[in-house]
């Protein structure tokens, strides 16, 4: 087996054999295939695609590059959720304790933000004392004691994916659907969960801009989960408008706690409940009522135990940015658009996100918006509040927001579309 023949096969629109896939993934992980060679193969895959059997084998090879976790010792069925990334997407924070309060165990391995999309671990690290890195033994102890854990994936889980993901990020091949699907699913299958619900974002603030591309990605990932014995379902959800009323780390934690307390923005509550119902059904608990667990405080109880179990103080004040800047509405009318991508870029520029994985983030940085599409605004009234420790970044963030807002002078009713666009199972 040699890497040149593998590259040529896919370059010439051929189908990679099981042996070729197993060999090239293993050889790249060991360093026997160079980055520039894997870059050529990744580009060939982006341009020419893979069939379902190829993607399934590629995913299996990524899983085989590392360890697999085992939750069979738990007394509860396991259910996990993965989001493909968005702006203001704090759903994991209220969702994990909510599903745990309803009887499932939620082993949530999460990541950090990169570019305009936020990261769950960055948000939770704004809670004083909370830590993301747990050993396997610590993770199981938190999961067994509280029903939910949110932490970073260990280095031993699908190491081939970690290496390939970094390469795709700098070679223009992030958008390859076979590689996106295998990247996500190799980690989730290796994680060992019994069921998985995928939140596939669609719109300007998502990696998938069109419903057609999102359906293809969702169907590919559902097929991979099914092929590997994991009960998998996907919801396609709207990301043309950012979720909730905040984008930023501590800002989103605050909003998540509001949801757990029985309040919070309606879109965040609706999506949290929709995903919770899917997770509970997939885990064999279709009669559990997540709305009741929000209302009676049991989800909040799990949240507080989960945060404490990972060293955090759920009662400690959250960090706030040193500087704020208010952007006012330029006209009176109805807000008909708030572009998710523009808001995400502005929050990133304020310090809430990072350009490279090694960059630091500001816990208090981000954006609040004081109206959502469909609501009336008054000229001169606060529309957005920008938060940062580095006020010299305000002009740079405002530049990103120049075309983010559309205000219609009409008084005719405007109804935003549904947040859940489709379901793939």
Q: What digits encode the pLDDT tens for the residues 283-312?
A: 999 999 999 999 999 999 999 999 999 999
Q: Are residues 190 and 115 in the same domain?
A: yes
In a domain, 161, yes or no: no
Between CA 356 and CA 365, with CA 361 as vertex, the angle to 5 degrees is 130
Residue range 238-250: mean pLDDT, rounded = 97
Displacement of CA 420 from its chain's centroid (Å): 16
For tokens 């994916």, the residue is: 161
Those residues with Cβ within 8 angstroms of residue 153's Cβ, 6 or more apart along the chain or in another chain: 109, 111, 187, 191
pLDDT mean over 204-231: 94
What's the chain's average pLDDT?
A: 94
| Pair (298, 333) in one structural domain | no
Is residue 329, in this structure, part of any structural domain at all?
yes
**pLDDT at position 79 over 90:** yes
Are residues 96 and 31 part of one domain?
Answer: no
Q: What's the total number of domains in the chain?
A: 3
Q: Output the pLDDT for position 162.
A: 86
365 and 272: one domain? no
Read off the pLDDT of each residue in 79-96 and give the average, rounded to a whole number: 96
Report the CATH number at residue 11. Answer: 1.20.970.10
- Model confidence over 5-33: pLDDT tens digits? 999 999 999 999 999 999 999 999 999 99
Q: What's the rounded Cα separation, in Å, for the pair 98 and 190?
A: 24
Which range has highest mean pLDDT (207-211, 269-273, 371-375)?
Answer: 269-273
Verify that 231 and 279 share a domain, yes or no: yes
Q: What does DSSP assign to residue 417?
A: P
> Does residue 84 sit in the same domain as residue 31?
no
Q: Is residue 38 part of a domain?
A: yes
Q: Which residues are catalytic?
A: 82, 161, 168, 183, 187
Nearest CA to 74 out of 97, 51, 99, 104 is that of 104
Q: Is residue 57 part of a domain?
A: no
CATH code of residue 255: 3.40.1030.10
What Cα–Cα distance (Å) separates residue 243 from each residue in 201, 205, 262, 386?
Answer: 11, 10, 17, 16
Closest CA to 322 of 272, 393, 376, 259: 393
Q: Report whether pLDDT(169) > 80.
A: no
Is residue 55 one of the residues assigned to a domain? no
pLDDT (0 to 100) of residue 415: 79
Buried b (16+ CB within 10 A) or exposed e, 168-200: beebebbebbbbbbbbbbbbbbbbbbbbbbbbb
Q: How far is CA 172 from the centre of its chain?
A: 20
- Residue 345 domain-assigned (yes or no): yes
Residue 187 has φ and ψ, to the nearest 5°, of -70, -40
The parent domain of residue 43 ranges over 3-49
Secondary structure (3-state) at 192:
coil
3-state DSSP assignment of residue 278:
helix
| Same-domain status, 277 and 367 | no
CA distances from 38 to 42, 58, 66, 250, 351 (A): 6, 13, 19, 38, 33
pTM of the model: 0.93
Q: Beta-strand (E) ranges in 44-91?
A: 80-83
**At residue 217, does pLDDT exceed 70?**
yes
- Give residue 417's pLDDT: 87
- Alpha-carbon span 63 to 380, nearest angstrom: 55
Indicate which CATH number applies to the domain containing 381.
Answer: 3.90.1170.30
Q: Looking at the structure, tell me whether residues 208 and 343 fall in a common domain.
A: no
Q: From CA 290, how far away is CA 166, in angstroms rounded?
A: 37
CA distance 205 to 403: 14
- Where helices occur in 192-338 by DSSP H, the ranges are 211-227, 249-260, 266-282, 290-295, 298-309
Tell whether 274 and 379 lie within a shared domain: no
Residue 136 shares a structural domain with residue 261: yes
Q: What is the per-residue pLDDT for 412?
A: 67
Kindly provide the b/e burial profile for residues 241-254, where b requires at least 16 CB atoms within 10 angstroms of the residue's own CB: bbbbbbbbbbbbbb
Reply yes or no on whether the pLDDT at 72 is more than 90: no
Is the pLDDT confidence value at 257 over 80? yes
Distance (Å, whole) CA 134 – CA 234: 28
Q: How high is the pLDDT of residue 360?
A: 86
User: What is residue 411's predicted lDDT score, i.e. its pLDDT?
Assistant: 66
- Does residue 400 sit in the same domain as residue 299? no
Q: Give pLDDT tens digits for 337-357.
A: 999 999 999 999 999 988 776
Res. 413: pLDDT tops 90? no
What is the reported pLDDT for 166?
Answer: 82
- Whether residue 40 lies inside any domain: the answer is yes
Residue 185 is assigned to a structural domain of this protein: yes
Boundary residue ending a domain (309, 335, 367): 309
Residues 116 and 181 in one domain: yes
Rounded mean pLDDT of 361-384? 96
């Amino acid at each position: 087996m040699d890497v040149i023949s593998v590259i040529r096969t896919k370059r010439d629109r051929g189908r990679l054999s099981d042996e070729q896939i197993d060999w090239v993934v293993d050889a790249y992980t060991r360093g026997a295939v160079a980055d520039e060679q894997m870059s050529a193969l990744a580009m060939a895959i982006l341009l020419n695609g893979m069939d379902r059997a190829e993607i399934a084998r590629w995913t299996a090879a990524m899983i085989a590059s590392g360890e697999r976790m085992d939750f069979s010792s738990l007394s509860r069925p396991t259910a996990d959720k993965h989001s493909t990334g968005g702006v203001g997407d704090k759903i994991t924070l209220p969702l994990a304790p909510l599903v745990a309060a309803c009887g499932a165990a939620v082993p949530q391995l999460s990541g950090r933000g990169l570019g305009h999309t936020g990261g769950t671990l960055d948000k939770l690290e704004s809670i004083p004392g909370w830590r993301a890195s747990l050993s396997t033994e610590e993770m199981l102890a938190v999961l067994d004691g509280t029903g939910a854990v949110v932490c970073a994936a260990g280095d031993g889980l699908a190491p081939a994916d970690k290496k390939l993901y970094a390469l795709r990020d700098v070679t223009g091949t992030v958008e390859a659907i076979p590689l996106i699907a295998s990247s996500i699913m190799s980690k989730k299958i290796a994680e060992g969960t019994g069921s998985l619900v995928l939140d596939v974002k669609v719109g300007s603030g998502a990696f998938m801009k069109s419903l057609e591309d999102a359906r293809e990605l969702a169907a590919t990932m559902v097929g991979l989960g099914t092929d590997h014995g994991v009960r998998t379902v996907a919801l396609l959800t709207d990301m043309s408008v950012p979720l909730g009323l905040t984008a930023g780390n501590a800002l989103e934690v605050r909003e998540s706690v509001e949801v757990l307390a029985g309040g919070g923005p309606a879109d965040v509550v609706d999506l949290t409940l929709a995903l919770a119902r899917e997770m509970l059904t997939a885990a064999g608990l279709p009669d559990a009522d997540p709305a009741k667990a929000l209302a009676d405080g049991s989800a909040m109880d799990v949240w507080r135990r989960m945060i404490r179990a990972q060293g955090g103080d759920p009662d400690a004040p959250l960090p706030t940015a040193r500087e704020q800047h208010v952007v006012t509405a330029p006209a009176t009318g109805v807000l008909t658009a708030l572009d998710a991508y523009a808001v995400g870029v502005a929050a990133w520029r304020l310090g809430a996100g990072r350009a490279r994985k090694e960059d630091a983030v500001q816990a208090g940085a981000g954006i609040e918006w004081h109206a959502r599409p469909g609501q009336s605004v008054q000229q001169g009234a606060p529309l957005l509040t920008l938060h940062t420790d580095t006020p010299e970044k305000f002009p740079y963030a405002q530049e990103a927001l120049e075309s983010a807002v559309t205000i219609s002078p009409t008084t005719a009713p405007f109804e935003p579309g549904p947040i859940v666009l489709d379901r793939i199972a």
